[in-house]
Structure 1
Amino acid sequence: MRDLKFEQKRSLSRLEAADQLTALAAALREGEDAEVELGPGTLSLRIPDDLRSEIEIEIGNGEIELEIEFTWPTAPVRTTPSRMATATEKATERKNPPAEPGRSSTAAKRSKSAKRPAPKTP
């Protein structure tokens, strides 16, 4: 059973169809909480960054049918760092410990190396 289904069937001119697709494209580009004007009403959608798509073309009975379908989960998808990424981050932290407060990491490295005398100015 579906939580909600909206379906609209009507005749459009080619320009009206292009305007409808342009509005949908703008909503997809905007993402997050997007609004699409559909005839007399407005459809509000929460659109994530990643979608699945399906394009279907059927030719038969003297008609061409073009379907463009986008699907995404209704609940936000939580991503957790993989074990490999976490291990890599920890190894990087061990190699490059944070600099002492008030000193840049370059200054900390320089203080460990032999100090050079300042060049003489003429």
Structure 2
Amino acid sequence: MKDLKFEQKRSLSRLEAADQLTALAAALREGGEAELELGPTTLSLRIPDDLRSEVEVEIGDGEIELEIEFKWPTAPIRTAPSRTVAGTEKAAGRKNAAAKPARSGTGTGRNKGTKRSATKTP
């Protein structure tokens, strides 16, 4: 059973159809709590940052049918809290310090097995 179903069928001019799509595009671009005017009716929706879409075109019986469908969950999606930048830098610094070999005092810093660059300097 659906919690709510809104369906509206009516004839529109090409410009009225474009206005409805423009209003829908503005609501999608804005996100959050959006109010979408559909003719004499106003529909209020919570639009998240991520959603799924489906576009379907059917041609038959002398008509073209174009369906554009967007889906998203009704409940907000919770994300895990992110680690702080400072904590990440400390952990990365310890890891990098342990992974780097100590520099020798020979001046070149190049081992016999080290590959040389293919570019030449003039």
TM-score, length of structure 2 as denominator length: 0.69
> Which residue is equivalent to 1:4?
4
Does the C-alpha gap of structure 1 residues 90 and 6 become closer, same or farther in structure 2, counting only changes over 3 Å?
Answer: same
Query: Where does structure 1 lack aligned partners over 5 or more consecutive residues?
Result: 97-122
Question: Displacement, 1:3?
Answer: 0.2
Mapped pair 1:78 → 2:78: yes
Counterpart amino acid of residue 32 in structure 2: E
Identical residues among aligned pairs (%): 76
Q: How does 1:1-122 map to 2 (within 5 A)?
A: 1-80=1-80, 90=87, 92-94=89-91, 95=93
Question: Displacement, 1:31?
Answer: 0.4
Counterpart amino acid of residue 71 in structure 2: T
Does the C-alpha gap of structure 1 residues 89 and 50 become closer, same or farther in structure 2, counting only changes over 3 Å?
Answer: farther
Does the C-alpha gap of structure 1 residues 35 and 91 become closer, same or farther in structure 2, counting only changes over 3 Å?
Answer: closer
**Runs of 4 or more off by more than 4 Å in structure 1?**
88-91
CA-based RMSD of the aligned residues comes to: 2.1
> Which residue is equivalent to 1:99?
none
Query: Where does structure 2 lack aligned partners over 5 or more consecutive residues?
Result: 95-122
Question: Displacement, 1:91?
Answer: 5.2
Distance 2:36 2:6 in 1: 13
